[in-house]
Homo-oligomer: A and B are copies of this chain.
Amino acid sequence: MSDPIGFQCADHGTCRTTLLARAQAHCDSLGLRLTPVRRRTLEILLVEHRALGAYDVLALLAAEGLGSQPPVAYRALDFLVKAGFAHKIEALNAYTACVHPGLDHTPAFLICRTCETVAEADTALTKGRLGDAARAAGFTIERTVVEATGLCPDCADRAA
């Protein structure tokens, strides 16, 4: 598992620029289209650096004239999720940018219940004990959701 990333990102500006450029390159190479709405949606997720609901995203898009109805946000988010640039956090019904897009990975999330910051780590859960249990049961795993809720260091300090 790689180190989780998210609670101490020193330079959002750089990671935003880098990841946007990577997304653009990825789309170019696959013939996908990173349209203005999609690009801006990804940028919003990168800048906010926490889990945002579809309607949160929609409000920000709408403020810039990039669409005002729910499908606009959901389509953009679906695209980003399918392309691997973002993930859906099921426990929050919210979305967050992927910190290492392009790589095929099974994300695991550490979600702060106070500030909603999300850190992304990797698991290889299907190779571990859950995978063993699934095989024993004859179950074929296609997708996994791993989400841990709790307190991030900053919020824990603030509470103490």
- Please give the residue numbers on chain A whose beta carbons come within 8 Å of chain B beta carbons, in ascending order: 1, 3-4, 6-7, 90-91, 108, 110, 112-113, 119, 121, 123, 125-126, 128-130, 132-134, 136-153, 156
Please tell me which one of the listed residues B123, B128, B141, B150 contacts residue A142 in the complex, with CB atoms under 8 A apart: B150
Which DSSP category, helix, strand, loop or mixed, fits chain A's interface? mixed
Smallest CB separation, A7 vs chain B (Å): 5
What are 8 A-B pairs at a CB distance below 8 A?
Answer: A4-B134, A91-B145, A128-B128, A138-B152, A141-B149, A141-B150, A144-B147, A144-B148
Other contacts beyond A110-B139, A128-B129: 16, CB < 8 A: A4-B134, A4-B137, A4-B139, A91-B145, A110-B134, A125-B148, A134-B150, A138-B152, A139-B151, A140-B150, A140-B151, A142-B148, A142-B149, A142-B150, A144-B147, A145-B146
